[in-house]
Structure formats: structure tokens, C-alpha cells
Amino acid sequence: MSLQQEDVIRSTINFPPNVWGDEFLAYEQQEYEEGIEKEVDVLKEEVKKEILASLNDQTKHLNLLKLVDAIQRLGIAYYFEKEINQALEQVFDAYGDHNWNGVGTSLWFRLMRQQGFFVSSDTFKTYTDEEGCFNESLKNDLQGLLDLYEATYLRMPGEVILDDALDFSRKCLADIARNHLLSDPVVSAEIHEALKQPLLKRLPRIEALRYIPFYERETFHNHSLLKLAKLGFNLLQSLHKKEICQISKWWKRFDVPTNIPYARDRLVECYLWAALGVYTDPQYSVGRMWVARAFALITLIDDTYDAYGTYEELVIFTEAIERWSITCVEGLPEYMKLLYQMLMDLDEEMKEFLAAMGKVHQHKYVKETMKEYIRSYMMEAKWNHESYIPTMEEHAEVTYISTGYKFVLAASFAAQDDVIADETFQWVFSFPPIVKASCGICRLMDDIVTHKKEQERKHVASVIECYMKQFNTSEQHLYGLFSEKVEDAWKELNKESIMCKDVKMPINRRVMNLGRVMDLMYKNKDHFTYVGDELINLVKSLFVDAIII
């Protein structure tokens, strides 16, 4: 009997169609005004000089930190990687892990930890009395409270003083916001936004979009820096437009709505994921486009395993993945052939890229993590088929891999046009705690918002069902419990990014950005599947509408 016959029961649902149509195909000819790069270079030099001028003068260190903070929040740190590192190293050499005293402690603490320098949370003891209570006088300094609040999010597991400082500053800020004591609407908006989402969880590019107009309103802003931020934003935006146009042309060839109508068609959203969470710096154009396309294809494969494919079909597909050869196409059910072909074509492209870079031997890392990823999909399909609810441990082991983040990281190292050591691939293979924590954030935040809808059809058990079964408990208090686990995972990310020196900071930052994407795609609702105005407007602001200079 053919598997394609109509009596096969498939647990599909009607996902909303792609909201973009052909919009991005129109951006092929986007050219930026001539001369803009020259202007950017001049401004860069000005800002570099300013950084370097403050380096050796301790009286200027607070201003130096403010400048670095502004550069990072304006989203142009990639222009000053070397200078920022030099500046923060200098500050670390001057004050060690706890000797910064007085004004700016919270800013110093946050910037140092963000850069991977360990500084001690004991520094905040000066803010408390003998009983460990935070001084009431702190409530009178609004900027100080905001800075303290943002600094506390850099906490590691067990840092009670920072947990307390967070409770204290959050409560003070919420009281201030509630009491309408503020006459300044800009500061009031700042408090509301900070309470909604701390800096730690904001994706740098989205923060730039938000911070540029905010910074402009500040009386003492640096004019060169502001101009550079705007030009830099627009330059990268025009590159994004071109890239989305290019990958849209590739995607259109496959006519997904006709050929794979049961799956989510989400190329632009996947590009957003890749551009904000994986490759944020302009130079990684090739990698960004490869990863975005891989995500879009994986989304189709995910919906095949989670919904449309029958168990028998999925076994065949998984075996073909294990064999990893285009010759397997023939043995696949008709509708799966395109998926397999797309995957093999993308893989071929990756191989060619690696060969051109002289690192073709690293292809095996991408292939192996992809196989492992698909095996995790198959295990979920098996549990679903057998109506088996796994233990929490079994569930985590499989569904952390099925977030795709381990594969994404390995692929991102390969698709990056600089030299990435084999040890870095081996590091991700060993599934280190920082990567696990990022996968944990992904799995928990995803399951919290998607499980209700998924369980309406036959779907693998989410972490919620597994916990309820194992601990014989009700669903109600689990959302709070898992939200706390997400916070714990953030503490782990902080700790590992500072304490673990196996990889360099840009790689840790990538792992953290993957965690941050979840705050965009899966906070309170599944914005990836059900793309609404919020995400649409964000995409337009990031990739379509230039900032007015």
C-alpha cells in the first residue's frame, strides 16, 4: 500500500502562511549612497582617538566606561573590537576584581563581566548595612538604581547579594514607575523597558534600534558617535536587504507553499534568527545566508517530524540522513525528496566553501551534528508514536539537541570565513555547560508557550507533561517553576562566559545571543509560528526602513 494514500492519518495543523510574499525580492539593486563608507571611516578614527585618549588617565576612566557602554548599546561594537578590549583590559589592570570605588560601580561591574573579566560581587557590600539590607538612600538616585538593576543580571549561581540587589532595585524601580513621580517621560520609558526586559536579554541589534533615538535625546551625547551609529546601522541594513533578497530568490525556486504546504514557510524569520542570534557582524555575509537557509529548511523538516510524516516515513528519512548520500533520494516517499535534495545541496555548498577556505576536513563536524540533530527528531517521533512520556532526564537529553543549537553552533563555525580551530568544534561536540544552558533556555521557553497548542494534536510530550507525570503535580505552578529555571540558566551562561576559557568571548557571545533570540521569538507567545504585527514591524525597522540621519 502506498504511504501517500489518503487513508494515512497525519496530525497536521494549518500553520499561517508566510507574511512577506515577494517583498524582499525587490531589494536587489539596493546601493548605498557613495561616499558613506569614507565618512564612516573618518568617524571611526575620531571615536578610536577618544577611546585611546582616556586609557592612561585614571580621572577619565568613568567617562571611558560610559563611552564603551554607549558604543555597545548603539550597536557598533564591531567597529571597535580591539579598542574596547584594550580599554577594559586597562581598567581591569588598574582596579583588579574589586577596587573600583565610588561612582559608576554598577556600570564598571556590568561592563567588565560582559567582556569576560571576573569582578567580585562583594563590591556591592558597600551598598548594604550590617544586616545586609540595601541602603535606603539608593532610592534617591534613579540612574544609580537603573545601573544597579542592569548590573545584577550579570549574576552567577549562588551570588545571593546580586539576587537581593535585583529584588531591591526591581521593587524600587517598579514603585517609582507606579507612583508617577517622574516628570521626565524619557526616563520613565527607560524604566518601563528595563523592567520588561533587562539589557542582558536584549539582542544587540534590537537594542541599537531602541537606543539610538534615546541617546540622541541625551543632552551631552557624542555627536560623532551618534552619526556613526546611524550610518553604521543603515549600512548594515542595506547589506541585510541584499542578503534577504538573494536568499529569497533561492527559496522561491522550491515553491514551498505548493510543494510542502503542511509546513511553516518562514525564510525571513529564519534570517532574523541568523542575523541577530548567530552572525551579528557585517563581515559574515556568506555564513549568515547559509545559516538562515539552513534554518528555513530545518523548519520544514521539523514540521515533517512533528506533524506531517508518518512514523514509517520518518524511519526511512532518518536512515537516509544516516547514509548522507544523494543516491538515497530515490528510496524516499515522494514528498520527502525535495527536502532531502535541498539538504544535500546546502551541504554541497558548505563543502565547496570549506574547500575554498582550505578547511574541508571540518565538514565532518557539520555532518555529524546534523545527524545527531535528526536522530533527536526521530526519538521524539518514536515517543510520540508510542505515546511514551519520558522522564525529565530522558526528555532533556533528547530535546536539548532537538533545539538545534548544537548543530547551529558547529555549522556557524564552519560557515564563518575565518580560521576556527578544530578544538572549537570539539568543544561544542562535548556539549559544554554554556551550550547546554542556552539549549535549556530554548527548550523551556519554547515548551512553555507552545505545549498547549501542540498537545491539541498528537505531539511529543513537552517538558510540562513530563514533569507533571514524574512528580504527579498540576500544571499551574509549573510556568513559574520553569521561568525560574530559565533565570538559573542565564546565571549559568554568565558564569561560563567568564570562568570558562576554552573558547574566545565572541563565541560565548554567540551562544548567549542564541539564548536572547528566545526572548524575541518565544516570550509569552510563539511569535515564530504565529507572526504578528510586533515581529513584522521589527523586521521592517531592522531590515527595510533606514534611520533618518
Binding site for ligand GPP (CB under 6 A): 270, 273, 295, 298-299, 302, 306, 402, 404, 408, 446, 450, 528
E-state strands within 51-200: none
Shortest gap between Cβ of 265 and ligand GPP (angstroms)?
12
What does the alpha-carbon distance between residue 403 and residue 373 come to, in Å, rounded to a whole number?
Answer: 8
What does the alpha-carbon distance between residue 147 and residue 217 come to, in Å, rounded to a whole number?
Answer: 19
Q: CA distances (Å), 342 to each of 275, 297, 331, 337, 349, in order?
A: 21, 8, 16, 9, 11
Choose between 74 and 445: whose C-beta lies nearer to ligand GPP: 445
Shortest gap between Cβ of 402 and ligand GPP (angstroms)?
5
Query: 129: Cβ–Cβ under 8 A, 6 or more apart, which residues?
Result: 135
Shortest gap between Cβ of 398 and ligand GPP (angstroms)?
10
Q: Which of 417, 422, 329 is nearest to 368 (CA)?
A: 422
| Dihedral angle sign, alpha carbons of residues 406, 407, 408, 411 | positive
Shortest gap between Cβ of 50 and ligand GPP (angstroms)?
38
Written as one letter, the residue type at 265 is: D
Query: Would residue 387 be called left, alpha or beta, if left means φ above 0 and alpha means ψ between -120 and 50 degrees?
Result: left
Query: Would residue 5 be called left, alpha or beta, if left means φ above 0 and alpha means ψ between -120 and 50 degrees?
Result: beta
Choose between 238 and 402: whose C-beta lies nearer to ligand GPP: 402
Choose between 43 and 521: whose C-beta lies nearer to ligand GPP: 521
Shortest gap between Cβ of 365 and ligand GPP (angstroms)?
16
What does the alpha-carbon distance between residue 374 and residue 355 come to, in Å, rounded to a whole number?
Answer: 25
Shortest gap between Cβ of 443 and ligand GPP (angstroms)?
8
- Asked if 116 contacts 97 with a C-beta cutoff of 8 angstroms, the reply is no
CB-nearest residue to ligand GPP: 404
Choose between 242 and 395: whose C-beta lies nearer to ligand GPP: 395
- Residue 17's φ and ψ, nearest 5 degrees, are -70, 170
Choose between 299 and 513: whose C-beta lies nearer to ligand GPP: 299
What does the alpha-carbon distance between residue 240 and residue 268 come to, in Å, rounded to a whole number?
Answer: 11
Choose between 190 and 446: whose C-beta lies nearer to ligand GPP: 446
Shortest gap between Cβ of 264 and ligand GPP (angstroms)?
8
* Residue 38 DSSP SS3: helix
Choose between 265 and 492: whose C-beta lies nearer to ligand GPP: 265
Choose between 243 and 302: whose C-beta lies nearer to ligand GPP: 302
User: Which residues on adjacent β-strands are paired with residue 134?
Assistant: 128
Query: 16: Cβ–Cβ under 8 A, 6 or more apart, which residues?
Result: 529, 530, 531
Shortest gap between Cβ of 10 and ligand GPP (angstroms)?
16
Shortest gap between Cβ of 329 and ligand GPP (angstroms)?
22
Longest CA span, the chain: 81
Choose between 276 and 408: whose C-beta lies nearer to ligand GPP: 408
